[in-house]
Amino acid sequence: MFSNMEGMGKMFESVQESATKIQDELESKTFTTKSGGGLIEVSINGKGEVVDLNIDDSLLEDKSSLQILLIGALNDANQMVQQNQKSSAMGMLSGLGGINPFAGK
Protein backbone atom coordinates (compact mmCIF):
# COMPACT_ATOMS: atom_id res chain seq x y z
CA MET A 1 0.00 0.00 0.00
CA PHE A 2 2.84 2.41 0.81
CA SER A 3 4.22 1.86 -2.70
CA ASN A 4 0.87 2.92 -4.14
CA MET A 5 0.91 6.12 -2.09
CA GLU A 6 4.42 6.94 -3.30
CA GLY A 7 3.31 6.34 -6.88
CA MET A 8 0.30 8.58 -6.44
CA GLY A 9 2.50 11.30 -4.92
CA LYS A 10 4.94 11.09 -7.83
CA MET A 11 2.09 11.23 -10.32
CA PHE A 12 0.62 14.30 -8.58
CA GLU A 13 4.03 16.03 -8.61
CA SER A 14 4.41 15.27 -12.31
CA VAL A 15 0.95 16.66 -13.06
CA GLN A 16 1.74 19.84 -11.12
CA GLU A 17 5.06 20.31 -12.93
CA SER A 18 3.42 19.74 -16.31
CA ALA A 19 0.59 22.15 -15.52
CA THR A 20 3.03 24.86 -14.42
CA LYS A 21 5.15 24.39 -17.53
CA ILE A 22 2.11 24.54 -19.80
CA GLN A 23 0.79 27.65 -18.03
CA ASP A 24 4.15 29.38 -18.48
CA GLU A 25 4.20 28.44 -22.17
CA LEU A 26 0.64 29.68 -22.67
CA GLU A 27 1.37 33.01 -21.01
CA SER A 28 4.42 33.58 -23.19
CA LYS A 29 2.51 33.12 -26.45
CA THR A 30 0.89 35.93 -28.40
CA PHE A 31 -2.00 35.44 -30.79
CA THR A 32 -2.76 38.04 -33.45
CA THR A 33 -5.85 38.31 -35.60
CA LYS A 34 -7.09 40.81 -38.16
CA SER A 35 -10.57 41.95 -38.99
CA GLY A 36 -12.04 43.93 -41.85
CA GLY A 37 -9.28 43.03 -44.25
CA GLY A 38 -6.63 44.26 -41.85
CA LEU A 39 -8.36 47.46 -40.75
CA ILE A 40 -8.21 46.16 -37.18
CA GLU A 41 -5.44 44.04 -35.72
CA VAL A 42 -5.60 42.62 -32.19
CA SER A 43 -2.84 40.80 -30.31
CA ILE A 44 -3.71 38.86 -27.18
CA ASN A 45 -1.49 36.83 -24.86
CA GLY A 46 -2.08 33.31 -23.59
CA LYS A 47 -3.81 34.63 -20.49
CA GLY A 48 -6.42 36.34 -22.67
CA GLU A 49 -5.12 39.85 -22.11
CA VAL A 50 -5.08 42.29 -25.02
CA VAL A 51 -1.47 43.36 -25.51
CA ASP A 52 -1.73 45.36 -28.74
CA LEU A 53 -4.45 46.95 -30.83
CA ASN A 54 -4.13 48.71 -34.18
CA ILE A 55 -7.07 50.53 -35.76
CA ASP A 56 -6.90 51.97 -39.24
CA ASP A 57 -7.63 55.71 -39.24
CA SER A 58 -10.41 55.22 -41.81
CA LEU A 59 -12.54 53.54 -39.13
CA LEU A 60 -12.37 56.43 -36.69
CA GLU A 61 -15.27 58.18 -38.40
CA ASP A 62 -17.44 55.05 -38.63
CA LYS A 63 -18.19 54.04 -35.06
CA SER A 64 -20.61 51.26 -36.00
CA SER A 65 -18.15 49.48 -38.29
CA LEU A 66 -15.36 49.98 -35.77
CA GLN A 67 -17.39 48.32 -33.04
CA ILE A 68 -18.40 45.37 -35.24
CA LEU A 69 -14.87 44.74 -36.50
CA LEU A 70 -13.34 45.16 -33.06
CA ILE A 71 -15.76 42.69 -31.48
CA GLY A 72 -15.04 40.19 -34.26
CA ALA A 73 -11.28 40.52 -33.88
CA LEU A 74 -11.42 40.17 -30.08
CA ASN A 75 -13.68 37.11 -30.31
CA ASP A 76 -11.40 35.49 -32.89
CA ALA A 77 -8.32 36.15 -30.76
CA ASN A 78 -9.98 34.75 -27.63
CA GLN A 79 -11.02 31.67 -29.58
CA MET A 80 -7.39 31.15 -30.62
CA VAL A 81 -6.29 31.31 -26.98
CA GLN A 82 -8.97 28.84 -25.89
CA GLN A 83 -8.05 26.39 -28.65
CA ASN A 84 -4.41 26.61 -27.66
CA GLN A 85 -5.28 25.99 -24.00
CA LYS A 86 -7.36 22.93 -24.93
CA SER A 87 -4.60 21.55 -27.14
CA SER A 88 -2.02 22.06 -24.41
CA ALA A 89 -4.22 20.40 -21.79
CA MET A 90 -4.85 17.42 -24.07
CA GLY A 91 -1.13 17.13 -24.71
CA MET A 92 -0.44 17.15 -21.00
CA LEU A 93 -3.02 14.45 -20.33
CA SER A 94 -1.73 12.23 -23.11
CA GLY A 95 1.80 12.71 -21.80
CA LEU A 96 0.73 11.30 -18.44
CA GLY A 97 -0.17 7.98 -20.03
CA GLY A 98 3.27 6.57 -19.23
CA ILE A 99 2.98 7.22 -15.49
CA ASN A 100 1.80 4.25 -13.44
CA PRO A 101 1.24 5.04 -9.77
CA PHE A 102 0.94 1.32 -9.03
CA ALA A 103 4.32 0.33 -10.50
CA GLY A 104 6.62 -1.59 -8.23
CA LYS A 105 3.73 -3.37 -6.55
Q: Give tens-digit pLDDT for 2-61.
A: 567 777 777 778 778 877 887 777 778 899 999 999 999 999 998 889 999 999 999 999
Cβ-based burial of 46 (10 A; exposed 0-12, middle 13-18, buried ≥19): buried
- State if pTM tops 0.75: no
Contact 4, 102 (CB under 8 A): yes
| pLDDT(104) > 60 | no
Of 29, 71, 65, which is closest to residue 53 (Cα–Cα)? 71
- Does residue 105 form part of some domain? no
Contact 50, 74 (CB under 8 A): yes
82-95 mean pLDDT: 79
- Does residue 24 form part of some domain? yes
pLDDT: which is higher, 100 or 19 = 19
- Does residue 64 form part of some domain? yes
Phi-psi region of 2 (alpha: psi -120 to 50; beta: other; left: phi over 0): alpha
- Does residue 23 form part of some domain? yes
The CATH number given to whatever domain includes residue 45 is: 3.30.1310.10
78: part of which helix (H) or strand (E)?
helix 63-95
Total domain count, the chain: 1
